[in-house]
Copies of this chain bind each other. A is one copy, B any other.
Amino acid sequence: MIKDYNDLKWDAIQRMEEVERCLFWQGSLGRTELALRLRMSNPQTTAILKQYQQLNPGKIGLNNSSKRYEVNDSVKNLFYTPSLSDLDSHSDTFEIDSYAMSAPSRRTPMDVVRNVARTIYQNKSIDIFYHSHNEPNGKRRRITPHTFVTTTRRTHIRAWCHESKGFRDFIVGRISETGTQSEPGQTLMSDEAWHTLLILKLKPNPKLDSAQKKLIEMDFEVQEGVREIKVKQALLWYYFELYNLWPEHQIQDPKHQPVILGNIDIMAFLNKVPTKK
């Protein structure tokens, strides 16, 4: 009768995930509440909760006083990995408000995303009309995309550019049109700057006093004065942009530049492969 995690069918896994989702955000879950959420009858809901208890013993227990199942956070989740973006998409069903600041500079036209995604899925290339810094009015290009890259500022597409014969990043919001698909160029495998990992070292800005430094060390999880981050060479430029790391900006107010570059030599990699300058 006790089933293994792997014996469950897809439907059952979805339900178990929903159970854990409720438990994580609410801390407790009533049977009637679950029956309403899953639109199921009471006997079946009871069965599901029993099944959950067998699969993940000790995670939940009925509190006779509140008449609700209460969660034991020291037992790990089996089905649900919590994240804030998940709260965003489910906050309407919980009574927990969640608000994402809208930022127009990051607009991501979903029809472009869709057509590029399908190009990746089919291992093809695609015609795009792209507005770059050098050609703001736009130019037709053919690219073989391999990965969507979400930086803190915008969404990019990492792709082989058939025009410039190299791997480049394309900002999704600057693609105004997508065209027909055709045979691919170079693929993920040969994107060296993508596969090269560098160590980026960050230090608190020395202009901060020691108490403020501690705060920054907390924010950045600094260990022994330096925070080391493994960074794809292809994305190095965006880390400079994010943390405002260019040495010529170090004159700035440390409020706008809480960390500075710990290994200047890494800047050599910024231009080595023409990623984006």
Residues of A within 8 A of B (CB): 9-11, 14-15, 24-27, 37-40, 73, 82-89, 94-108, 110-111, 113-114, 117-118, 120-122, 131, 133, 136-137, 146-153, 155, 158, 171, 173-174, 176, 188, 202, 211-212, 214-215, 218-221, 227, 229, 235, 238-239, 242-244, 256, 258
Shortest distance in angstroms between A41's beta carbon and chain B's nearest beta carbon? 10
Q: Is the CB of A106 within 8 A of B152?
A: yes
Residue from A110, A149, A152 with most neighbouring chain B CB atoms (10 Å): A152
B146 touches A26 (CB 8 A): no
CB neighbours (8 Å) of A87 from chain B are: 117, 148
Are A133 and B212 in contact, with the CB atoms below 8 A?
Answer: yes
Complex: chain B residue closest to A9, CB-CB:
B39
- CB neighbours of A243 from chain B (8 A): 105
Q: Are A148 and B97 in contact (CB under 8 A)?
A: yes
Chain B contacts for A173, CB-based, 8 A: 218-219
Q: Which residue of B lies closest to A210 (CB)?
A: B136
Chain multiplicity (copies):
2
In the bound complex, how far is the Cα of B122 from the Cα of A95, in angstroms? Answer: 9
B149 engages A215 (CB within 8 Å): no
Q: How far is the CA of A191 from the CA of B254 in the complex (A)?
A: 31
Residues of B within 8 A of A219 (CB): 104-105, 107, 171, 173-174
Task: List 15 A–B pairs whose Cβ atoms lie within 8 Å, in order of A's numbering.
Answer: A10-B15, A25-B121, A27-B114, A27-B121, A73-B114, A82-B114, A87-B148, A103-B242, A104-B202, A104-B221, A105-B242, A131-B214, A136-B212, A152-B152, A173-B218
In the complex the two chains form, is A101's CB within 8 Å of B10's CB? no
Q: State whether B96 touches A121 (Cβ < 8 A).
A: yes
Known: A97-B188, A121-B95. A84 touches B114 (CB 8 A): no
A148 touches B98 (CB 8 A): yes
Question: Distance in Å from the Cβ of A19 to the closest Cβ of chain B?
Answer: 12
| CA–CA, A136 and B212, complex, Å | 6
A147's partner among B24, B85, B97 (CB-CB below 8 A) is B97
**Cross-chain contact B118 with A25 (CB below 8 angstroms):** yes
Known: A10-B39, A110-B82, A211-B136. A148 touches B96 (CB 8 A): yes
Contact A137 B211 (CB under 8 A): yes
User: Are A101 and B149 neighbours in the complex by a CB distance under 8 Å?
Assistant: yes
A139 to B214, CA, bound (A): 14
Distance (whole angstroms) from the CB of A239 to the closest CB of chain B: 8
**Given the complex of chains A and B, what is the CA–CA distance between A97 and B102 in angstroms?**
25
